[in-house]
Amino acid sequence: MLAYTLRRILAAIPVMGVVALFVFLLLRLTPGDPAAIIAGDTATPAQLEAIRTSLGLDKPIPVQFATWIGQLAQGDLGTSLISKTPVTTLIGQRLGPTLSLALITMVLSILIAVPMGVLAAWKHGTLIDSLVMALCVLGFSVPVFVIGYLLIQVFAIQLRWFPVQGFSSIVNGLGPFSQRATLPAFTLASIYVALIARMTRASLLDVLGEDYIRTARAKGVAERKVLFRHALRNCAVPILTVIGTGFALLISGVVVTESVFNIPGLGRLIVDAVLARDYPVIQGLILLTSGIYVLINLLVDLSYSLLDPRIRY
């Protein structure tokens, strides 16, 4: 187990290396002068020079990469071109809303999706099954912002149950927070629910065909117990895996949802950075989210043997 853990951690390093290299080369390999692209059409030569120096673009590319990796290793993600604030500070300011939204969405999605998937598998081939599957296809197909505006229209504008937009930090009290986080969380959950429900259903169907399920039924174990104790437990690994890989989808969804609901989180930070061509911020956020993605999937991998004692390394 220890050897496996070490091997998996070591395997994560080249992945992050590729991410870093890609992000680094993206700016340098873009045709044209990156400083001019970032500065826009109205830049003076002095401004261009300032951008070049601040990004280190005046040095040879290998030197640039080495310096940059050195800074990264010290936790320095660079400085925003617009606000001149360190990117890590900017991220720190915006992390709260995004983190709370993402966590709530994850919990909400699992609470909705797993029972949905179980129900579909249990009632396999019936109308309920088709209905759940249809909902899943919808979740994959309807863009997050369409769902967001639909929820705003119905629950905020017509029913007036929730405020239209905005955000209140969880430190300002649970009431205002849940008032403002409910619609965004449901919006963001739509695609995640589809993903998890589909996987739950498929893996449960797989397990329900196993011999030990037939044995359990044959010795008269109640259907409910068969379903939850014998079958569902054995689906933990694929479900957890899809939760891990689905994290990338969640990030994309966060960016959109925060724009729809005007939430001052990381998603808004990146959208503002794109509009202002603030490349260090974009770069920092890509590195951060990719890092979290790799970390989550590392933890998922390592948890396999905890969830399923049959898996040994």
Partner 1 sequence: MASSSHTDAGALPVARPRYIPNLAHLRFAPTVAGLCLLLIVLMAIFAPLIAPHDPIAMLPAQRLKPPSDTFLLGTDAYGRDLLSRLIYGARISLIVGLGVMVIAIAVGLPLGLLSGYFRTLDAILMRIMDGLMAIPSVLLAIAVVSLSGSSLLTVMIAITIPEVPRVVRLVRSVVLSARNEPYVEAAIAMGTRLPALLARHLMPNTYAPLIVQGTYICASAILTEAILSFLGAGIGTETPSWGNMISEGRMYFQLKPSLIFWPGVLLSICILSVNLIGDAARDLLDPRLKKRTGA
Contacts of 68 (CB under 8 A, 6+ apart): 24, 56
Show contacts with partner 1 in window 40-59 (CB under 8 A): none
Q: Return the closest-CA partner of residue 261 out of 176, 185, 165, 162.
A: 165
Side-chain-side CA neighbours of 129 within 13 Å: the count stands at 12
Nearer to partner 1, 85 or 153 (CB): 153
Q: At how many degrees (to 10) do helices 279-307 and 247-261 cross?
A: 130
Contacts of 37 (CB under 8 A, 6+ apart): 30, 277
Which of 34, 184, 265, 280 lies at the binding interface for partner 1 (CB under 8 A)?
34
Q: How far apart are CA 219 and CA 226, in angstroms?
A: 11
Q: Which residue's structure tokens are 């974009």?
A: 282
CB of 164 to partner 1, least distance (A): 7
Nearer to partner 1, 49 or 206 (CB): 206
CB of 249 to partner 1, least distance (A): 8
Q: How far apart are CA 19 and CA 60, in angstroms?
A: 21
Nearer to partner 1, 220 or 309 (CB): 220
Nearer to partner 1, 87 or 260 (CB): 260
Q: How far apart are CA 27 and CA 38, in angstroms?
A: 10
Instruction: Check binding of 270 to partner 1 (CB under 8 A).
Output: yes
Side-chain-side CA neighbours of 92 within 13 Å: the count stands at 8
Of the candidate spans 50-58, 72-80, 101-109, 199-207, the one that interacts with partner 1 by CB under 8 A turns out to be 199-207
Show contacts with partner 1 in window 148-167 (CB under 8 A): 149-150, 152-153, 157, 164
Of the candidate spans 1-9, 52-60, 84-92, 195-203, the one that interacts with partner 1 by CB under 8 A turns out to be 195-203
Instruction: Check binding of 91 to partner 1 (CB under 8 A).
Output: no
**Contact status, residue 77 vs residue 86, Cβ threshold 8 Å:** yes
**Contact status, residue 230 vs residue 213, Cβ threshold 8 Å:** yes
Instruction: Check binding of 255 to partner 1 (CB under 8 A).
Output: yes
**Contact status, residue 293 vs residue 18, Cβ threshold 8 Å:** no
CB of 174 to partner 1, least distance (A): 28
Nearer to partner 1, 2 or 10 (CB): 10
Q: How far apart are CA 201 and CA 199, in angstroms?
A: 5
Q: Return the closest-CA partner of residue 280 out of 62, 84, 48.
A: 84
CB of 65 to partner 1, least distance (A): 15
Nearer to partner 1, 31 or 175 (CB): 31
Show contacts with partner 1 in window 202-221 (CB under 8 A): 202-203, 205-206, 208-209, 213-214, 217
Which of 21, 107, 111, 311 lies at the binding interface for partner 1 (CB under 8 A)?
21
Which of 6, 25, 66, 137 lies at the binding interface for partner 1 (CB under 8 A)?
137
Which of 170, 248, 302, 307 lies at the binding interface for partner 1 (CB under 8 A)?
248
